[in-house]
Homo-oligomer: A and B are copies of this chain.
């Protein structure tokens, strides 16, 4: 059978939890091909009934039972979805009862946090981290660098910017970054801008071949993108990390999520919201 099995990620909120749960599970069955669709904000009985129709259509199309990964808090909506012809992997059904029993209290079965002070504080922490990170991208400013939670250092295109932004958005971390230029790498010392913050520096390195590919996209046929330049810069950067006892990681085979989580752990950082 050529058709792929449908996998639905359904939520009455953003869908991020049901997606990450579903993807983690599907990733364990790499020989099976799936057709994925995410449906966020299924938060009324009407939307739930429309969702059931979509699942029914998918079931009829392929003769394979669709997989329905759901993270739906509201019981009424959960009940409607449960009557669709899919295999239901319902996150709240699996765990909420166990937790109610353990905690000796009923779940509120309601969407959303209390919208109040805590939300605002969360938003502000995140906003501050994003602004800090944007203002300290690519070594543009040493103003308030002392307030950085971490300073990522690495050669051009080693993955500093996306990682910093992810740290800011996901964890509220003020993440600066400093690009090691060939000039910096020629000197025996740490770059003056970051020298006094050595204990906040975390290094990123990358496979020279991958770096050359990335740079080639930016500046084709340049010395900057040549494999010999990339090899030299990466070797010099790693030598600098070792010389100054700076912890570092190789970004080549890591996702931004993995890099950010590793850095949080290695630097002993705590989520700010």
Contacts and interface: CB of A to CB of B under 8 A. Distances in A.
A46 to B, nearest CB: 16
A94 B96 contact: no
Nearest to A259: B14
Nearest to A26: B99
A12 to B, nearest CB: 11
A21 B17 contact: yes
Nearest to A108: B28
Contacts of A130: 161-162, 165
A50 interface: no
A118 to B, nearest CB: 10
A214 B162 CA distance: 25
Interface residues of A, number: 70
Interface string A1-40: 0000100000001111100110011011111100000101
A114 interface: yes
A255 B122 contact: yes
Interface in A135-190: 137, 161-162, 165-166, 169-170
A102 B91 CA distance: 17
A117 interface: no
A62 interface: no
Contact of A27 (B25, B65, B113, B162): B113
A28 B96 CA distance: 9
A214 to B, nearest CB: 8
A79 to B, nearest CB: 17
Contacts of A99: 25, 28-29, 67, 87, 89
A128 B255 CA distance: 14
B71 A24 contact: yes
B253 A115 contact: yes
Given A89-B95, A165-B169, A126 B28 contact: no
A4 to B, nearest CB: 12
Interface string A246-265: 00000001011110111011
Contact of A29 (B105, B134, B169, B264): B105
Interface of A: 5, 13-17, 20-21, 24-25, 27-32, 38, 40-41, 65, 67, 71, 73, 87, 89, 91-92, 94-96, 98-99, 102-103, 105, 107-110, 113-115, 119-120, 122-123, 126-127, 130, 134, 137, 161-162, 165-166, 169-170, 210, 214, 253, 255-258, 260-262, 264-265, 271
8 contacts: A14-B258, A14-B261, A21-B21, A25-B99, A29-B103, A29-B108, A32-B105, A165-B169
